[in-house]
Amino acid sequence: MKLDYSNNKELISEEKELITPSIRAFQIGEGSEGKHLKKVVEKFGKKTNDEAYIKAMDWFILEENRHSMTLKKYMEVYDIKPIENNWIDNVFRFLRKLMGLECEVVVLVTAEMIALSYYTALSNATGSKLLKDICAQMLHDELRHVVFQSYTLHKIGVRRNEFINKIVRGIRKFFMRITLNVVWVKYKDLFRNGNYTKKTFRNDCLEYLKQSIDIEKAGKLV
């Protein structure tokens, strides 16, 4: 999608105030060099003899960095200064690196499912055509990321005992519930303006998780 950054009069000041905290947080959340991720992906790709998977993950990291750049460019148009770090992002980065590929992917895909609701809310909350176009692009990409990462979890789970898989699914549900509550508390003004209530936000996130787990179990879209 071709994005036109030339118009800087679309966003009214109340809207700018409304979107600033969350767009800053998502801008840093989207971007990462992915050093640890690349390392664990390479290890898994070699173990499973799957060079294509390593390549696909490289493209995935590039696309996430493009998301971050897109948001940064939009913020520049309206003079919204980026932030250096954010505690939720720091916690996510810490958790991702705690263990191997599965841990990285569980944390990543949780953030991506939250992002699906976030970009929907952001699009609903703004009158800016450019921001709506950016959200549409993000939603298009993130949906595919969720499917891709859920399939990765299938590839990991299929190689081991089903009992462990059930425990991981329980951890994913628990982690999603914590994350959605934290995100709601921090950015509820934006979500409310984007036609979400706490209940619809929670239901959306849990439904995405259910679908992700269905893909993880089946190894394909169901």
| Binding window for Fe ion (CB under 5 A); candidates: 64-72, 80-88, 170-178, 208-216 | 64-72
In the complex, what is the shortest distance from the CB of residue 51 to Fe ion, in angstroms, rounded to a whole number? 22
Shortest gap between Cβ of 83 and Fe ion (angstroms)? Answer: 17
Q: Does 145 bind Fe ion (CB under 5 A)?
A: yes
Site size for Fe ion (CB under 5 A): 6
Tell whether residue 104 is a contact of Fe ion (CB under 5 A): no
- The binder of Fe ion chosen from 24, 25, 27, 30 (CB under 5 A): 30
Stretch that binds Fe ion, among 142-150, 161-169, 180-188, 203-211 (CB under 5 A): 142-150
Separation CA 102–CA 159 (nearest Å): 12
| Cα 42 from chain centre | 22
Would you give the binding string for Fe ion spanning residues 155-184, x where CB under 5 A is met?
------------------------------
Segment interacting with Fe ion (CB under 5 A) among 19-27, 143-151, 179-187, 214-222: 143-151
Question: Judged by CB under 5 A, does residue 89 bind Fe ion?
Answer: no
SS (H, E, C) the chain: CCCCCCCCCCCCHHHHHHHHHHHHHHHHHHCCCCHHHHHHHHHHHHHCCCHHHHHHHHHHHHHHHHHHHHHHHHHHHCCCCCCCCCHHHHHHHHHHCCCCHHHHHHHHHHHHHHHHHHHHHHHHHCCCHHHHHHHHHHHHHHHHHHHHHHHHHHHHHCCCCHHHHHHHHHHHHHHHHHHHHHHHHHHHHHHHHCCCCHHHHHHHHHHHHHHHHHHHHHCCCC
Q: How far is the CB of 55 from Fe ion (least distance, A)?
A: 17
For residues 93 and 85, the answer to whether their CB atoms sit within 8 Å is: no
Among 18, 28, 57, 64, binds Fe ion (CB under 5 A): 64
112 touches Fe ion by CB under 5 A: yes
Among 23, 28, 67, 74, contact with Fe ion (rule: CB under 5 A) = 67
Site residues (vs Fe ion, CB under 5 A): 30, 64, 67, 112, 142, 145
